[in-house]
Amino acid sequence: MTDKRTKIIQAEIGDDPAYGAVNPPLYLSSTYRFKSIDEKGPFDYGRTSNPNRHGLGRAVADLEGGAHGVVTATGMAAIDLVLNLFKADELILAPHDCYGGTHRLLTHRAEQGRLRVLFIDQNDAAAVSAALAQKPSLVIIETPSNPLMRLVDIKSLCAASKKVGALTMVDNTFLSPARQQPLALGADFVMHSTTKYLNGHSDVIGGVVVAKTAEHGERLAWWANCVGITGAPFDSYLTLRGMRTLFARMDVQEANAMAIAKFLHKHKKVERVYYPGLKSDPGYKLAKKQQSGPGAMLSFEVKGGFEQTKTVLEAVKLFQMAPSLGGVESLMCFPTTMTHGGMAPEARELAGIKDTLIRISVGLEAAEDLIEDLSASLSLI
């Protein structure tokens, strides 16, 4: 088996039948000529299929070890695509501290009577078995969680879900296939906001769902075309281009994150650091087991209150104060008003997201520069 690092460089390379272009050309055409009245080529209409989107789906499926990848316009569309497989009376289990947009989507779909949803703490064994006893049809797993980097044991939750007949979907956005392989751990679907690590350059909004089986893959592709949420060709082109450096980016960003986590951990103005690469982190052991590295996302609580937190966030110079993650540049965000602003304050509190919490997406800058910037900002409080 060729290493995944080689596979992603080779993906779609040198296949151009027209001119022998090494890099896959961009196909913007919305429609494709039929060969005869009843014979079409591999592509017919751009919503249904497109060479760039197709190539990206295949490349991600290959990295995740799945049968088929369906590329969507956004990460949210990828999650919503999977929800199409279920009927209104079927129950969906989701983590109570999932991505704010996922929480909002599920909550509002449930309010409209389109599905039933139960949010639980997936690390509370009693809550998990009580919820599984209600025979859910889908269990959504997000690990590490956003923004508190809590880990869920994918293998054991997938096995327990399977026992009650539930399908499982893992949101692998925070680690990418370079660090976590949910399908190999028993999941049926893995999805990404490709906006984040897969594209890696903060210039595309996109999503993808990879199904373990061809049958599920076909159903997803059917729904994506039916609803019309397939991704754009140029976005797919850029995302595949970005993915070629995924492993190299992740190696450096992860090393930077480790250096920053250690610095923050020792800092007297920092209350707590959430990073599964630290021995003191509750997720450390599980991360060693199910991930091939701790990744490049971390969060920390500032000592003091909202004012001190605001000071740090507004003082940093190298970190851009912005939501999103996974790009080459370092970002710092305030989950309360940014990523988790769509969540009700009570839901946020229940999930443990405090007003002193800062989340960092560590980029490719020199670690020493990032640490110096953090050090200067923390010295102001």
Ligand X SMILES: *Cc1c(COP(=O)(O)O)cnc(C)c1O
CB of 84 to ligand X, least distance (A): 16
Cβ at position 141, least distance to ligand X in Å: 11
**CA 143 to centroid of chain Cα atoms:** 9
Task: Answer whether 252's CB lies under 8 Å from 197's CB.
Answer: no
Amino acid at 55: G
Q: Are 332 and 320 within 8 A, CB to CB?
A: yes
Residue 122 or 377: which CB sits closer to ligand X? Answer: 122
Whichever of 24 and 95 has its CB closer to ligand X, that residue is: 95
Among 208, 184, 226, 238, CA closest to 68: 208
Q: What are the C-alpha distances in Å from 153 to residues 88, 122, 123, 141, 147?
A: 28, 9, 8, 9, 17
Q: How far apart are CA 252 and CA 259, in angstroms?
A: 11
Q: Supply angle C-alpha 146, 370, 280, rounded to 5.
A: 50
**Residue 380 CB, nearest approach to ligand X (Å):** 29
Per-residue burial over 31-68, b = 16 or more CB atoms within 10 Å of its CB, e = otherwise: ebeeeeeeeeeebeebbbbbbbbbbbbbbbbbbbebbb
Which of residues 208 and 367 has its CB atom nearest to ligand X in the complex? 208
In the complex with ligand X, which residue's Cβ is closer, 197 or 263?
197
Place of tokens 């595309």: 204
Which residue type is seen at 36? S
Show which residues are catalytic: 47, 99, 171, 196
Q: In the structure encoding, which two tokens stand for residue 340, read together?
A: 């988790």
68/196 with CB nearer ligand X: 196
Nearer to ligand X, 142 or 355 (CB): 142
CB of 193 to ligand X, least distance (A): 3
Alpha-carbon distance of 253 to 150, in angstroms, equals: 20
Q: How far apart are CA 206 and CA 136, in angstroms?
A: 28
- Select from 336, 338, 375, 371 the least CA-distant residue to 356: 336
Residue 187 Cβ vs ligand X, minimum distance, rounded to whole Å = 15
CA 232 to chain centre: 19
Whichever of 337 and 379 has its CB closer to ligand X, that residue is: 337
Nearer of residues 76 and 260 to ligand X, judged by Cβ: 76
Annotate 240-297 with DSSP letters as a single string: HHHHTTHHHHHHHHHHHHHHHHHHHHH-TTEEEEE-TTSTTSTTHHHHHHH-SS--SE
Nearest approach in angstroms of CB 104 to ligand X is 11
In whole angstroms, how close is the CB of 148 to ligand X at the nearest point? 12
Helix (H) or strand (E) holding 54: helix 51-64
Binding site for ligand X (CB under 6 A): 74-76, 99, 101-102, 142, 146, 171, 173-174, 193, 195-196, 205, 207
Minimal distance, residue 174 CB to ligand X, in Å: 6
Nearest to 167 by CA among 143, 187, 191, 190: 187
